[in-house]
Amino acid sequence: MLFTRRPGYRRFEYRPRYYDPSREQTLRERLRRQRERVRRTRRRPMSLLWMLALLLMALYLYGRL
């Protein structure tokens, strides 16, 4: 047991992140625009009607089997 390898410490590189107010503002605006776009797509009642029609058609076809 003279020449066994001893475990050592794991080394890592740490790069600190600095706060950049202008970058933070652009990220907030981008996220706000994305949320607004998602809200607009969710409010469409036509997609709800299509889903309801597909569900009724599937139930009708299932009942005929």
Tokens read off for 17: 């992140």
For 46, the domain range is 21-64
How far is Cα 65 from Cα 54, in angstroms, rounded to an integer? 17
Q: Is residue 40 part of a domain?
A: yes
Q: Is residue 52 part of a domain?
A: yes
Q: Is residue 13 part of a domain?
A: no
> Could you tell me which of 49, 36, 34, 35 has the C-alpha nearest to residue 57?
49
Tokens read off for 15: 């790069």
pLDDT of residue 65 exceeding 90: no
Q: Is residue 15 part of a domain?
A: no
How far is Cα 48 from Cα 45, in angstroms, rounded to an integer? 5
What pLDDT digit, counting tens, does each position of 4-38 carry? 777 777 788 887 778 888 888 999 999 999 988 87
Residue 43: what pLDDT?
Answer: 60
pTM above 0.75, yes or no: no
